[in-house]
Structure formats: C-alpha cells, structure tokens
Amino acid sequence: MACMNDNALRTVEAQIREQAATYCNVPGFVAGVYHAGEQIVVAHGTANVATGAPMRDDTGFLFGSVTKVLTTTLVLQQVDRGLLDLDTPVVKHLPEFALIAPGAAGKILIRHLISHTNGIDADLFFPDAKGRDALKTYVNGLASNCGALFEPGEQLSYSNGGMIVAGRLLEVVTGMPFPDLLERDVYAPVGMRESSTSAEQAILRSTAVGHFLDPETMAAKPTGMFTLPDTWGPAGGTPIGTIADLLAFGRTHLAGGVSPSGARVLSAESTALMQQVSHDMATPNVPPMGLGWVRYPFGDTTVLAMSGASPGGVSILCVVPEHDLVFAAFGNTPGAIMLQDQILQRLLSEHLDVRIPTLVTEMEQDVDLTPYVGTYRSNQLRIDVSIVDGQLEERTTYEPADEWQKRIFTEFAGGMTSAPPQRYVPIRPGLFAPAGYPQETFDGYLRLLLVSYHDVRDGQARFRNGGGRLTRRA
C-alpha cells in the first residue's frame, strides 16, 4: 500500500488549490483528503456570487446523490437490528407500494432498492409535498404515475425512485421521519456535526449555493432553487453538510463501520456487503454496483464512489479501502465534476502509484449501427436515435407530465430542458463514445459519458444506457 506522509499531503493541498484556481468555470470549490491518519481540507473561491461570500473549509453544501450511500447505510442498520431482510419483498412492509403495471411492485425486493436493480421508472418524478408525509406522498403517487423499465434484478439503472422508496420503508419500520432517522443514526454516531436535513437549518451557517453558466457570457449565476422537494430527501434532495463530515462518513466505511470517534455505526459484515459486487452490466461505462456504492475500477484498484448533482452544483465521495484513503469534494457549477475527476486521477496516479489504464484503446470502424436506431423512453424522457453521416445521432426531449414536474426539472437543469443533437462514434458493437472527445477523457469518472446498448433481440437493442440510466425501446 502506497502511503502519503504529511509532506505529501501538503503537496496534494497545493495541487488542489492550483487546479481549482485555474479551473475558471467553477466559482467555488472545496475538497478534502484523508489518508492513513492525516487529513486536509482545501477551499477556494466564492460560495455565492450574489453575496460574495467566500467558500470556506467549513462551508456546507448539498450532498446530492452522495446521500444514497447514507440511505443505504440506514437500511443495513435495520438489517443488523433484525428489522429488515434484504430478500424480503418491499410490499411486506409497504403494502401500498404499487406501480402502473399490476403486480410489478410485488416482485421488488428490498435488495433491489439499494442496488439500483429495481426497474422503477421514476427518475424524473417530482411530486410536491413537504414535511412528515412527503415520502408517503411520493410512494402513493407511483401507482398512477410510474411504471417499470425491466424485471427486478434483470438490469441495472441508477434509481432515484428506489432510494426514495427505501426511505419510506425506513420510516415505516422505525416509526421515525427519514430526516430524524438520518440525524440520529448516521449524523450523530459518525460525528457529522455540521450536517443538516433542510434549508431552514443550513441557512443558520455558512452554506454554498449552486450556479449555472450563462450560455452567452459564460458568467456564473446563482440557481433559482436551492434544494429539490422534500419528497427527494433519501435520494439526495435535501441533506446538507461539510467536507469534514463526508470524510468522517467515508472513514467509517474504511474502518468496517466504526466511526472516527469509535462509535459502531454499522456491522463489519454489512459494511463489507455494501462494498461487494451486487450487479455487473459488464460494460465499461457502467461500473459494477455494490449496495449504495458504485465500484469504479482504476486498473487493479477499486474506488468506491458516489457523486451527487444538486441544482447548480455537484459533490463527490470516494473511498479507496486498499490505500486507506477518502476523497470528498464539492463545486458550485455542474461542470465541477470534471475538476473532481482530474483531482481523483492525480491522487491515484501521482500519490498512490496506481496505474490507470486507458479504457478506450481503439475504435472499430465497421460496426452495424442499425440495431440501435429507434426511440427509447423512460419517465418523461424521450431519446430518438438515428444514423447521420455514418454516426449515431441522439436527440433528447423532455416531455413533462404536468406543470409542476416541468417547473422542478427546469429549475434543476438551470433552465435547459433540451440539448442539441449529440453524435456518437462506435468503440465496438453496443458501445459508443461522444464524438470529438479525446479517448483519455473516459479513463476516470467521466467514463459515464459513454453510451451502451443492451439486449439485442431480432436485430434491435431493447435498452440504451447513458450515465448509468436505462431507457427502453418504445
């Protein structure tokens, strides 16, 4: 195991400051590294361009989908306590849980919720509800608004809906609202002292807001919506905290479920289970999934990771067990994920001596494109795939179910509800890269930009996977 000493960590700190300062499209950035008993936190720039408030070491930010690992930890705690069994159907505890297709929800096991293999087609479902009944409202709305993309366990598709159903499941079996449970059973024992579950709490301390770049001037403008609705709490809509808090949570998973203060948060068995492969799509753009964690292979080294988009910002948490390292970061524009990817790869290659192989080594020229042409759909999303000038061209259209859904999605996307057509070139049959990108772009976290097609039957692919999310042939 390569090990950084204190001087090496100071070098890392200087490098992060340098990279953040030269990355002009992110107003504010904060990152932290824990390694083998030493820890640094680095802050740069502005937390809110409207107020000029600086980004500080202890500035809070929305965790976004990093929350999914916290939610999964809560589920495994109930397994440890004997209140839940991962192989039990969800409807045993939530008999009201249903989807549009009769009987579809009854096939979904608790395990499927937290491994993203449930098939719930609810990725853009944003019901409006606040307070104690928010998650109940979400689950009740699935029956008349959302269907199933695939049979449970058949495929893998990143699932906000699965995590929100898991949050409601936790409320039923513990008798506590999800925010209260998160504070009691994760924040407190882990030592996440600066974390909160609402904007009302976060406003009392230093908190960053997201920004979007003006397409004409490229100037950063603050988001018009700080959090997603309360109905999205367990998937990452509302929890807020600091880099130090995320590092403490990551260290807990490094230490077999024991927090930095010595408190037992999760059993060693459940901690290990979260890190094991639960489903593998066997395609480089979709890393193997654990429970909560995504297992990114960097050569022979596995990085347990989850990134989290919020309105105008993005966070990331990475745990590297074999090197006793945790990396966490937040940037307050969506493009910060590229900076985070650069820092992660530099940490691995320069400081841990991890060899990062080239993911895309060659491109096949003579690939039959016809199996992939057609229209693919998921919740309120349509992707039309055609052949143009010998390449695949994708046109993505958002089709809101109602004005409330449209308003939330539009705010979350910074006003952009459509994108220009995107061309793709074949790497091999069923795997494509966006045209114009250098091949080394995909070596790290940004392998998610690749697109794959799956389950070809009678000359047609049934599924398209982009960014870990499935759409199904219409």
Burial of residue 123 (CB within 10 Å: 0-12, 13-18, 19+) is buried
Examine the pLDDT at 24 and tell me if it is beyond 80. no
**Residue 396: DSSP 8-state:** E
Confidence band for 21, pLDDT divided at 50, 70 and 90:
confident
Examine the pLDDT at 440 and tell me if it is beyond 80. yes
Examine the pLDDT at 417 and tell me if it is beyond 80. no
Mean pLDDT of 181-195: 98
SS3 state at 61: strand
Examine the pLDDT at 324 and tell me if it is beyond 70. yes
Examine the pLDDT at 250 and tell me if it is beyond 80. yes
Examine the pLDDT at 2 and tell me if it is beyond 80. no
Residue 4, pLDDT score: 66
> pLDDT (tens digit, 9 = 90+) per residue, 345-400?
999 999 999 999 999 988 998 999 999 999 999 999 999 999 999 999 999 999 99
Mean pLDDT of 299-323: 97
Segments making up each domain of the chain, as ranges:
370-473
More confident residue, 319 or 22: 319
289: tokens are 């999934």
Contact between 469 and 451 under an 8 Å Cβ cutoff? The reply is no
Residues 6+ apart with CB under 8 A from 47: 28, 53, 54, 55, 56, 59, 206, 207, 208, 209, 332
Least confident of 139-153, 246-260, 310-324, 434-448: 434-448
Measured CA to CA, the distance from residue 365 to residue 355 in angstroms comes to: 29
More confident residue, 58 or 17: 58
Q: Which of 65, 157, 159, 307 is catalytic?
A: 65
Measured CA to CA, the distance from residue 367 to residue 361 in angstroms comes to: 16
Identify whether 206 is a catalytic site residue.
no
Residues 6+ apart with CB under 8 A from 75: 84, 110, 113, 114, 166, 169, 170
Residues 6+ apart with CB under 8 A from 335: 25, 26, 213
Examine the pLDDT at 7 and tell me if it is beyond 90. no
Q: 3-7, 13-17, 74-78 — which one is most confidently predicted on average?
A: 74-78
Measured CA to CA, the distance from residue 132 to residue 172 in angstroms comes to: 12
CATH fold of 370-473, please? Lipocalin (2.40.128)
Residue 16, pLDDT score: 86
Measured CA to CA, the distance from residue 110 to residue 94 in angstroms comes to: 11
Mean pLDDT of 164-177: 98
DSSP code per residue over 447-474: GGG-EEEEEEETTEEEEEEETTEEEEE-
| Average confidence score pLDDT of the chain | 95
Residue 5, pLDDT score: 64
For residue 228, which of 236, 218, 241, 237 has the smallest C-alpha distance? 237
Least confident of 16-25, 127-136, 287-296: 16-25
Mean pLDDT of 146-157: 97
Residue 1, pLDDT score: 56
Residue 216, pLDDT score: 85
Residues 6+ apart with CB under 8 A from 20: 26, 29, 31, 42, 44, 45, 339
Residue 396, pLDDT score: 95
Phi, psi angle pair for 379, to nearest 5° = -50, 110
